[in-house]
């Protein structure tokens, strides 16, 4: 994930699921606008649910035609709708998600970034119930002549991964020294330009890439690694009211078919086991 600490954060509006999305000019302004409490949930800015994310990471969140859209965005729109407010998305560096920095500073109410639940991250933030089970894919250049992750190493090919992610961690655990890229777009560009001959990244991201014919013609998946990863949304430690609101929205969405509809819109054919992982 992106590690540019000096990079300016951007505020983008993600309205409830029934409306469109528009860009909002300017940068984060912390707590300006005043805190408020809605249905027992304290919000860092009046009238809005402020979400920290990291762009781009399709199909979970990305900027499409000037609008922030994706699987995570749509799910958090449900939380905002239940609270009677609109969602605002703040694009931030991913390393802050591990520490909960933007949550602790009061810039965001929650974080939604296709983020894997780990014991290390739980030390700094509280996770929602898991909402998606992800696997890691190994995508290679068809011209590289490799057939698996092990083959990447055996043939001395370069492996790329997104910085600060579990994909990068997994590669290192298997003895690789992966080329680190700051975003998912940069990972794909590294493969396109020959900086690396293979990459490891979340499979739903690869699924999105391969919808493009040029990518499908040039690249192929040679491994799909079930690493037991589950995604969760995060809140500041101790923010039980917002956590309960998120979990309630997820539970209701799965019960009434809304989750399935959002899943099919952004991920693809519905996979019940991936959609409803057991809480860890």
pLDDT in tens, 28-71: 333 445 679 999 999 999 999 999 998 888 899 999 888 899 99
Q: Are 110 and 234 in contact (CB under 8 A)?
A: yes
Task: Judge if the upstream peptide bond of residue 268 is cis by omega within 30 degrees of 0.
Answer: no
Residues of the chain with pLDDT under 50: 1-9, 13, 15-32, 279-280
Domain annotation for the chain: domains and CATH numbers: 10-131+232-275 (3.40.190.10), 134-229 (3.40.190.10)
pLDDT for the residue numbered 93: 85
Place of tokens 């898991």: 130
pLDDT for the residue numbered 227: 84
pLDDT for the residue numbered 18: 31
What 8-state DSSP symbol labels residue 245? H
pLDDT for the residue numbered 183: 87
Please provide the DSSP assignment of 38-92 as one string: ETTEEESBTTEEEEEE-S-BTTTBEEETTEEESHHHHHHHHHHHHHTSEEEEEE-
Task: Judge if the upstream peptide bond of residue 56 is cis by omega within 30 degrees of 0.
Answer: yes
pLDDT in tens, 130-167: 999 888 999 999 999 999 999 999 999 999 999 988 89
In this structure, the strands spanning 198-202 and 159-162 are: parallel
pLDDT for the residue numbered 5: 32
The conformational region for residue 43 under phi > 0 = left, psi -120 to 50 = alpha, else beta, is: beta
pLDDT for the residue numbered 279: 45
280's tokens: 């860890």
pLDDT for the residue numbered 27: 33
pLDDT for the residue numbered 16: 37
């Amino acid at each position: 994930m992106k590690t540019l600490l000096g990079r300016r954060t951007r505020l983008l509006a993600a309205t409830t699921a029934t409306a469109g999305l528009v860009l909002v000019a300017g940068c984060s302004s912390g707590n300006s606008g005043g805190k408020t409490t809605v249905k027992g949930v304290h919000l860092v800015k009046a009238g809005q649910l402020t979400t920290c994310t990291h762009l781009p990471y399709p199909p979970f969140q990305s900027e499409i035609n000037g609008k922030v859209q994706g699987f995570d965005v749509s799910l958090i729109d449900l939380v905002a709708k239940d609270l009677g407010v609109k969602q605002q998305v703040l694009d931030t560096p991913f390393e802050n998600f591990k520490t909960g920095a933007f949550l602790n500073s009061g810039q965001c109410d929650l974080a939604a970034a296709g983020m894997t639940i780990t014991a290390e991250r739980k030390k700094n933030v509280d996770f929602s119930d898991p909402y998606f089970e992800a696997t890691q894919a190994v995508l290679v250049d068809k011209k590289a002549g490799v057939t698996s992750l092990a083959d990447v190493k055996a043939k001395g090919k370069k492996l790329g991964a997104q910085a600060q992610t579990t994909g990068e961690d997994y590669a290192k655990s298997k003895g690789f020294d992966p080329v680190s890229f700051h975003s998912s777009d940069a990972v794909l560009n590294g493969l396109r330009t020959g900086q690396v001959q293979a990459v490891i990244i979340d499979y739903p991201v690869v699924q999105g890439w391969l919808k493009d014919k040029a990518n499908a013609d040039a690249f192929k998946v040679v491994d799909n690694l079930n690493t037991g990863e589950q995604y969760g949304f995060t809140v500041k430690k101790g923010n039980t009211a917002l956590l309960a609101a998120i979990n309630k929205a997820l539970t209701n969405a799965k019960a009434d078919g809304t989750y399935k509809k959002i899943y099919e819109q952004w991920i693809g054919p519905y996979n019940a086991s991936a959609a409803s992982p057991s809480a860890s």
